Chain A
Amino acid sequence: DQQVKQNSPSLSVQEGRISILNCDYTNSMFDYFLWYKKYPAEGPTFLISISSIKDKNEDGRFTVFLNKSAKHLSLHIVPSQPGDSAVYFCAASSENTDKLIFGTGTRLQVFP
């Protein structure tokens, strides 16, 4: 049972435009959500997070939006840069668990 889903395996965006990565979850107990970026041959790097008591969190070019009623979150990258090309993982956690539950990832390619 896939509790965290990233339905788009890949996304291609032109440099300077907006990248929108989507994530859906099924477990209503999740209360914290994170985005990680992963380059080849490296471990995932923490990017940005959001608590379920918020609906938006912003950090520079990165903004995460949370829609609890739809059990959906998205990561917006504006403007996109070639260095943003990587695999992006959405992850979720809850207060009564010790683990992060990851989606399958979306490969973002930013082209000039």
Chain B
Amino acid sequence: DAKTTQPPSMDCAEGRAANLPCNHSTISGNEYVYWYRQIHSQGPQYIIHGLKNNETNEMASLIITEDRKSSTLILPHATLRDTAVYYCIVRVHYQFYFGTGTSLTVIP
């Protein structure tokens, strides 16, 4: 029962910003948005999360719209190692609702 919608795939040129969109139109006020990525054959890796405000860390930035119905993960300078499946997740209490993710390919 995924609560998010993401494009199935995207390409990005190496060194450019990668902007990954996510729709979560049914999100409730106390539900967090999380982003993880999964590189082939590995467990998902935490990237960033937020509730209402935009967030930034050493890996990425998260932009959440004012109505909270969508968000964008920004990788500021994509490298080949950023090629992975990116999951946008709504956390409801302890429960993470994974969708099918966006397969990002960084092109040299």
Q: Do A and B come from one complex?
A: no
- B residues in contact (CB < 8 Å) with A: none
